[in-house]
Amino acid sequence: MERFSVKGVLEGNKVKVIIGNKEFNIGMPNSGFPTPEEFLLASALSCELLTLFYYANQKGLKIENVNGKIEGEIDIRGFLGDPKIPPGFLTITYEIEVKSNNKEAIKELAEIAEKRCPIKDTITRGVKININWKID
C-alpha cells in the first residue's frame, strides 16, 4: 500500500502546499496562482500520460512524443450555493496525442492507461473522504 501526503497552510488568498520538500502556491481565481481546479486537472492529465509511459516502458514500446490538454467545466452557481448544481466539475475532457511507430500497440496501451490511471479512477469512481476538523 502506498500513502501520499500533502501539507498546507492558508496565507491570505492562497494556500502554500508542501509536497515532499517543494512548496507550491494555490490560489483563488485571478490571484496570480494556479487554482485548486487547475491543479486537479494538471494531476489528472499528468497521471494519464505517466500511466501510458509506465506501461509502454513495461512492454518495451518506444513512444516518440506524447502531449495533451485537459479542460474542465464548472457552473459557478454550484459553488455559490445553488442546490440544483454540483459545485465541482460537470465535465472533464482530455485530448492526448501520441506519436509512435507502433500505433496498434499504443492504442491497446491507451485503453490500459484509461483503466489504470489512479487519478482518473479516483475522480470517476469517487472515494470515501474523511475530514477531521480541529477547531480551537
Query: Given phi > 0 = left and psi -120 to 50 = alpha, else beta, which region is 60?
Result: left
Q: Are residues 105 and 72 in the same domain?
A: yes
| pTM for this predicted structure | 0.92
User: Is residue 132 in some structural domain?
Assistant: no
* Alpha-carbon gap, residue 20 to 5, rounded angstroms: 8
Extract the C-alpha cell encoding 12: 491570505
Q: Which residues constitute the domain of residue 11?
A: 1-30
Same domain, 15 and 68: no
- Answer whether residue 70 is part of any domain: yes
Confidence class for position 126, pLDDT limits 50, 70, 90: confident
Both 59 and 115 in one domain: the answer is yes
Give the CA angle between residues 134, 82, 9 to the nearest 5°. Answer: 30
Residues 26 and 45 in one domain: no
Question: ∠ at Cα 121 (131, 79), nearest 5°?
Answer: 50
Residue 69 belongs to domain with CATH number: 3.30.300.20
Q: For the chain, what is the domain count?
A: 2
Structural domain includes residue 133: no
DSSP-based three-state secondary structure for 82: coil
Is residue 101 located within the same domain as residue 119?
Answer: yes
For 98-119, what is each residue's pLDDT tens digit? 999 898 999 999 999 999 999 9
- Is residue 49 domain-shared with residue 97, that is, in the same domain? yes
Q: Stretch 83-112: mean pLDDT, rounded?
A: 95
Q: Which residue has the cell 498546507?
A: 8
Mention every residue, 6+ apart, whose C-beta is less than 8 A from residue 69. Answer: 45, 94, 95
Quick: pLDDT tens for 5-53.
Answer: 999 999 999 999 999 999 999 999 999 999 999 999 999 999 999 999 9
Does residue 24 lie within any of the structural domains?
A: yes
Is 136 a domain residue?
no
